[in-house]
């Protein structure tokens, strides 16, 4: 039992380190519309944010309780707001930041409603 | 120059985001996960917003990014507080080796 637990930890750490290595070593093509001097740095930014979103989705998949899943969805919303703010820079489409603001508002309201529901009250209390 | 400053802020924010998500996977309890993930990811995203503001300057996009960052800084802590209160009241236990539980003692009185 103890050995399998340790093996699971080792497997998870190895998978995360492998993903980080793949972010920095493998040349993954991403389409950019405007060439900035820091465009390759922004590519690493996207890939690292996608790695964090993948870790959040892992917690959504196997959280033991409902509260774990709500926490992971909340954190995923905040990550997506940051993603929308970064994607404004290389593409030059200025309405991506509006998507981020709307996502932040909706994520806050939905988290409050879900926590009220978890507590066992009605929504207008 | 402002491009470089913005990229430095975005890099710091990305490091905070990644470590917050790692804590979300790695820690043993709902409350530990909430504490690690909320603080790290909120500060990381606020730093990303500061970087976007430093790149775009006082234009519409920069001021929108700054407003979005301040909004996140205000609301994320509120959401985390409500979520932890709801999780405790719905009967989720603390982890095995926890030492102190002041909120439970207050509820018993």
Over residues A79-125, the pLDDT tens digits come to 999 999 988 887 778 888 999 999 999 999 999 998 888 887 766 65
Chain A residues touching residue B38 (CB < 8 angstroms): 71, 74-75
- Provide the percentage of residues in chain A whose pLDDT is more than 90: 26
Q: Which residues neighbour A38 within 8 Å (Cβ) at sequence distance 6 or greater? A: B3, B7
Rounded Cα distance, B105 and A4, in Å = 37
pTM confidence score: 0.87
Distances (CA, A) of A44 to A22, A86, A99, A107: 11, 11, 22, 26
CB neighbourhood size of A26 (10 A): 8
Q: Residue B58 belongs to what H/E stretch?
A: none
Q: Which residues neighbour A26 within 8 Å (Cβ) at sequence distance 6 or greater? A: none
Does any CB of chain A come closer than 8 Å to the CB of residue B35? no
Over residues B52-87, the pLDDT tens digits come to 999 888 989 899 999 999 999 999 999 999 998 888
């Amino acid at each position: 039992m103890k050995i399998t637990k340790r093996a699971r930890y080792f497997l998870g750490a190895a998978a995360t380190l492998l993903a980080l290595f793949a972010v920095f070593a493998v040349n993954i093509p991403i389409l950019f519309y405007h060439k900035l001097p820091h465009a390759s740095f922004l590519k690493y930014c996207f890939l690292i944010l996608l790695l964090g979103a993948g870790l959040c989705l892992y917690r959504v998949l196997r959280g033991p309780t409902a509260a774990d899943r709500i926490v992971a969805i909340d954190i995923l919303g905040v990550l997506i707001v940051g993603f929308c703010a970064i994607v404004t820079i290389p593409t030059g489409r200025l309405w991506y930041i509006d998507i981020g603001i709307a996502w932040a508002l909706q994520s806050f309201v939905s988290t409050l409603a879900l926590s009220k529901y978890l507590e066992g009250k009605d929504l207008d209390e | 120059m402002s491009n470089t400053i913005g990229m430095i802020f975005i890099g710091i924010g990305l490091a905070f985001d990644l470590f917050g998500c790692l804590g979300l996977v790695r820690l043993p309890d709902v409350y530990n996960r909430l504490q690690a993930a909320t603080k790290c990811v909120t500060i990381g995203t606020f730093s990303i917003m500061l970087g976007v503001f430093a790149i775009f300057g006082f234009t519409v996009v920069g001021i929108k990014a700054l407003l979005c960052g301040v909004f996140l800084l205000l609301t994320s802590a509120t959401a985390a507080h409500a979520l932890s209160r709801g999780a405790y009241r719905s009967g989720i236990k603390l982890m095995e080796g926890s030492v102190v539980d002041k909120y439970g003692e207050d509820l018993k009185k």
